[in-house]
Each structure stands twice: as structure tokens, then as C-alpha cells.
Amino acid sequence: MKNQDTQDPFDSAVFLASAGLGRKIVQLEPKALFFSQGDPADAVFYLQTGKAKLTVISQNGKQATITLLSAGDFVGEESLASIPGLRLATASAVNSCVALKITRKEMIRVMHDETAFSDFFFKFLLARSMRIQADLVDQLFDSCEKRLARILLLMAEFGKPGERDTLIPPISQEALAEMLGTTLSRVTFLMDRFQKLGFISYNGRIQVNKSLLNVVLLDQLPEQNSRKPALLPTH
């Protein structure tokens, strides 16, 4: 007979995979909103499947994409501030998404009561902080080619453990131009260039090839780096 004082160890994966007290599963179609900029920050979302993005709109109506999100990411963590305020950005689905919506109260409770979950969440926050810094460096110093390559690689989830489907979710070149903060004609030119170089291919959807990493790891495109050895094979 099991001792009443003995409790099963807390499993963060189980907690984030199922509905329960203070949390529910939500499904979003492409372009649907998790929340909008200016909404009350009252919940955290854990993305189970699909991809999403965070965008902000300035007072003059200019929109910018802050970051891309994929399965395993949290979104809306600003709701955990000691004094809850308003959403600082808009979170929307890039493709069909399934997420766990966790109320602020339940999120604070589980972080307080379960050390394993607190460790898991703080590791995520640290990784998010490092990624935002990398994104900022991209915007300040990197070329448009390199930023586009990085967005495509992130959408294909290169760098995550396990085999990845290199077909990225359906996305328009207009959306890519918005993420880059550049013109549609510039994105069209770069995508055509990437295709000619064999970095990407089209088969109804965009397929990202491993050789695209060269654009991120090298300072320029191959023909501009003829004196530098390739870091990865291009085939």
C-alpha cells in the first residue's frame, strides 16, 4: 500500500501536455491571435504544436516582428510580473497551433510549489533572453541576406535535437518582408538567389537545405567569400 505522505515526482512534461485546474488546451488557426498588444496580461501560453510570432506596432502604425516561436516555447511570460500590466506585443499563429493556456495564478502557484518546473521555466527564460540578444545583433549589424537565412533556419528548427522536417510552414514573401523590415522586391530577389544557389527549394512549400547555414556562419554569400573555405558542404 502506498504511503499517503509519498507523492509522485512532479512531471513538467505531463503538466504542459494536458488541461487541468487553471489551464486549458486552445487551438488557433493561421493568423489567429493568442493576445493583442494592450490586452491585460493574465495568462501564459505554452506552444505544443505549430509556429507563432511576436509583433509590435508603434504609435505611427509601423509593425515589426520581434521573434518567431515554435513548439516548446512559452509566450506571454510578462504576465508573471509582480504587478500585472498590459501586453507589450501581439502574439499570433503562423500556422495551425495547439497551445496550453495557463492562468497567471496557476503559473505562479506551480513555480512556487514545484522546483523542477521552476528550473525548467528559468532555463527557457535564459534561452529566450540569449535569442533576443542574437536577434538584436542581427538587426543592428547583419546583412539582409543573413537575417533572412536565420529566419528560414529558425522556421525549419535547425539546431534542435532530432531529425527535422526541413519544409517550413506556408508563409508568404510579404510576411517575410515584414519580419525583415525590408521590401517585398528585396525578399523576392534574395529568395530567388537562395534557390539558384541550392540553399532552398520549392515544392509547394519552401524546403530549407542544410547548406543555408553557410549564409549565417560566413559573413557573406559564397561568391563574395571566394577566399574563405566553406564551413559546411553545399550538396
The per-residue pLDDT string of the chain (235 residues; one tens digit each, 9 = 90 and over) reads 444 455 668 899 999 999 999 999 999 999 999 999 999 999 999 999 998 989 888 888 877 777 888 899 999 999 998 787 899 999 999 889 999 999 999 999 999 999 999 999 999 998 888 877 776 666 655 578 888 888 888 888 765 555 555 788 778 888 888 778 788 888 899 999 888 888 888 877 888 888 887 776 654 444 443 333 333 444 4
CB-based contact 83:8 (threshold 8 Å): no
- How far is residue 155's CA from residue 222's CA, in Å, rounded to a whole number? 22
Q: Give the chain's domains with CATH numbers.
A: 12-138 (2.60.120.10), 143-224 (1.10.10.10)
User: Are 124 and 138 spatial neighbours (Cβ–Cβ below 8 Å)?
Assistant: no
The predicted structure's pLDDT at residue 161: 55
- State the pLDDT at residue 130: 82
Nine-digit cell string for 38: 494592450
The model's pTM:
0.69
Look at residue 6 in the predicted model and tell me its pLDDT. 53
- Alpha carbons 74 and 121: distance in angstroms, whole number: 9
Contact at 8 Å (CB) between 92 and 55?
A: yes
Q: Which residues have C-beta within 8 Å of that of residue 112, sequence separation ≥ 6? A: 118
CA-based end-to-end distance of the chain: 61
DSSP code for 20? B
